[in-house]
A and B are shown apart, each in its own frame.
Chain A
Amino acid sequence: MSELLDLTAAQTAASLRAGEVSTDELFDHSRARAANDDLGAFLWVAEDAPPPVSAQAPLAGVPLAVKDIFCAEGVPSTSGSRILEGYRPAYTATVVERLAAAGAPMVGKTNMDEFAMGSSNENSAYGPVRNPWDRERVPGGSSGGSAAAVAAGIAPWAIGTDTGGSIRQPASLCGLVGLKPTYGSVSRYGMIAFASSLDQAGPITRDVTDAALLFRHMVGRDPCDSTSLDHPEEIELPQADRLDGLRFGVPPELSGEGIEPGVLTVLKDVLGRVEHLGGTVNETRLPHSPHGLSAYYVLAPAEASANLARYDGVRYGLRAGNGDLLSMYEHTRAEGFGDEVKRRIMLGTYALSSGYYDAYYGRAQRVRTKIVADFASAFESCDFVITPTSPSVAFRIGERTGDPLAMYLSDYCAVPASLAGLPAISIPGGLSEGLPVGIQLVGPAFSENRLLQAAHALEGAIAFPTGPPPT
C-alpha cells in the first residue's frame, strides 16, 4: 500500500480502476499518512471517510490535499491565520466541490503562509513546514504545505493558490509540477481572498499529466465568481514528446543578474533539451519585468489591505479587546494578524492613502499595463517564455525571515506572469546542490493545452524522478 502513494495520481487512478486497491482503503491509508505527517504540512486531516467514490469517476477517488485557503463547509479553514482559528465556513469553495464531484475527495487541509503572504511558509500562524528534500530548509510558499505533502508522498496531489508565485515557487523548491492558470479560468469562490485581481487556484502534482488531469476538473465559469469565465478549450491530457517548430524565448531580464549560478546551469541544460527535441531558443526581451516586483508589492498589498478589512471581530473569527467598537477592531486585528500580514496591510494602506495614491498605486497599475504589453510583444516572436521559476533553490528555515525584501525577491521571476494574468507552469529541471530547480514556461492567455504539451515533452527529456526524494 505505501508503494501506491509513491506513484503519480494518474498511476494510482489506474490501480484503483484495476481493482488492485479500493477507494476506501486508499483514502484511509492516505488519511493515516497525513495524520502522522511530521513535516508540519497539514493543519487538518479528514476524520471521516468521504461519501463513496466510484473508481470509474474521472478522478477515480484519488485523495486530494487542499490548501487551507479554500473554504470547506464545517471544516476548519484558517488561511494560516490566528484570526480565523476555529472558523468553520458555512459553504464550500467551488473548486473543492468540483474536484470532489469528479472523484478527488479532500483528505486534509494544508499549511500555508498566513493569507498566502509569503514565500517560505514561515509566516503561518501554525508553524513552519519542512522541505522533504532537506528538513532544515523551507518548502517555499505560500502553498508550502501542499507542496511538501505531495513531495513527501503523503498526498498523491494537491491544490494551491498563486498570487505572485505561490504555486510555482513551492513546486520549484520541492521538485514538483505547479500550474498557475490564466486569470479567470478557475473560480475564486470560497478561496479566502488575498489580492483579487491576481489570485488563481491551480494544481501541485508529481508530473505534468497529473496537473492536466486535475486542472481539467477545476476550470469553468462559476456564477458565484463574476471574474470567472469558461476556458475556450477543453483541457486535454498531454501526449507530446517533441517540440518541433516551437519557439522558446529567454528573457535576459529574468535569467541573469540575481539568479543563482546553479539555477542558471539547470536552465542552460533545459534549453539544450528544448533544442534537442526540435524547439528553437531565442532571446526575448521583457524590458519592464525587473519592475514587476515593485508593481506587485504595491498592487497586492493594496488589494490585501481592502480584502482584509473584513477581519474586524464582528461576523466570524477572533474578537479581542473590551472597550468600545473602534478599540475592539484595533485589538482584534493586532492580536489576530501576524507580522507579515500587518506589514502588507500597512504598505497597502499607505499606497492607497491620500497624497500617495498616484505615486504608488496609480503608477503600479501603469507598470502593469507595460508588463502586459511586454508579454504581448514577446509572443509575436515566440510561443513560450522560459525562465527559472525561482532565483534560488530552497533556502534554510530562518535564513530570510529578518529581511522582508530578500524574501520578496524569491518571486522575482514568477510575478510578471501574475501581473499579466498569464498561465505559467513550473516543472523540475534538475538539481543544484542536491536540491530541485524549477523551470517556468509562460504562455499567452488560455494557452494551457499548449503549455501542458510542451511541459510534457520537456518532462520526458529531463526525466526528473517523480517519487519522494532520496533519503
Chain B
Amino acid sequence: MIEREQVLHVARLARLLLSDEEVERMREELSGILDHIEKIGELDLDGVDPTSHVIALENVLRPDEPRPSLAREAALSMAPQPGDTGFGVPSPGS
C-alpha cells in the first residue's frame, strides 16, 4: 500500500487538489493497480531496448519559411481571462 504522503506528493507534482476522501481512495486504487502492474518486474528485460515510438520516422523537417499562423485574436478568444496581447493569470503570489 502506498503512503498517504506519497499520494500527496504526486498530487502536488500533478497540480491536482485532492480532498481527504480522494486521497484515501487514491491510496487504495493506485496500490491495487500498481500491484497488478508490478508483474512486469518478473520479466527478464536485460539488454532489451526501450520503445517510445513504433514507426520508423526520424528528423521530420520542413523548410524554415515563415507562414501565417493562428491569429492572436483567435488564440485569445477562448481564454478565461483574455488580455489585449496575452493571457491573464492570477499573481504567482509570494
| Residues of A participating in the B interface, judged by any CB pair closer than 8 Å | 87-91, 182-184, 197, 223, 226-227, 229, 288, 291, 293-295, 297-298, 305, 309, 312-319, 322-331, 333-334, 337, 342-343, 345-347, 349-350, 353, 359-360, 362-370, 372, 404-405, 408, 419-421, 445
User: Which DSSP category, helix, strand, loop or mixed, fits chain A's interface?
Assistant: helix
Q: Mark B54-94, 1 if CB is under 8 A from A, else 0.
A: 11010010100000001000110111110000010111110
Smallest CB gap from B54: residue in A? A421
Min C-beta distance of B77 to chain A, whole Å: 7
Complexed CA–CA distance, A298 and B90 (Å): 34
CA distance A295 to B53 in the complex (A): 14
Contact B93 A367 (CB under 8 A): no
Task: Please report the C-alpha to C-alpha distance between residue A349 and residue B6 in the assembled complex, in whole angstroms.
Answer: 11
Q: Is the CB of B16 within 8 A of A295?
A: no
- 27-73 of chain B: CB within 8 A of chain A: 29-30, 32-34, 36-41, 43, 45, 48-55, 57, 60, 62, 70
Contact (Cβ within 8 A) A342 B22: yes
Q: Identify A316's interface contact among B15, B32, B41, B78, CB under 8 A.
A: B78
Interface residues on B, range: 35 or more
Q: A367 CA to B40 CA in the complex, in Å?
A: 8
By the criterion CB–CB under 8 Å, are B30 and A346 in contact?
yes
Return 10 A-B CB contacts under 8 Å, by A number.
A90-B74, A227-B53, A294-B37, A326-B15, A328-B90, A331-B17, A334-B17, A343-B30, A367-B40, A408-B33
Contact of A370 with B10 in the complex, beta carbons under 8 Å: no
A283 to B77 alpha-carbon distance, docked (Å): 57
Interface status of B13 (Cβ within 8 A of chain A): yes
Taking each of B16, B36, B87, B92, which has the highest tally of chain A beta carbons within 10 Å of its own beta carbon?
B16
Within the assembled complex, what's the spacing in Å between the Cα atoms of A424 and B91?
Answer: 49
- Given the complex, which residues of A lie within 8 Å of B36, measured CB to CB? 293-294, 297, 405
Task: For the complex formed, measure the closest distance between the CB of A318 and the CB atoms of chain B, giving whole angstroms.
Answer: 8
Q: Give chain B residues whose Cβ lies under 8 Å from the Cβ of A305.
A: 14
> What residues of chain B have their CB less than 8 Å away from a CB belonging to chain A?
2, 6-7, 9-11, 13-18, 22, 26, 29-30, 32-34, 36-41, 43, 45, 48-55, 57, 60, 62, 70, 74-75, 77-81, 87, 89-93
A315-B16 CB under 8 A given contacts A184-B55, A297-B37, A365-B51: no
- Whether the Cβ atoms of A420 and B54 lie closer than 8 Å is yes
Contacts of B34 in A (CB 8 A): 347, 350
Task: Name the contact of B11 in the complex, choosing from A315, A326, A346 (C-beta under 8 A).
Answer: A346
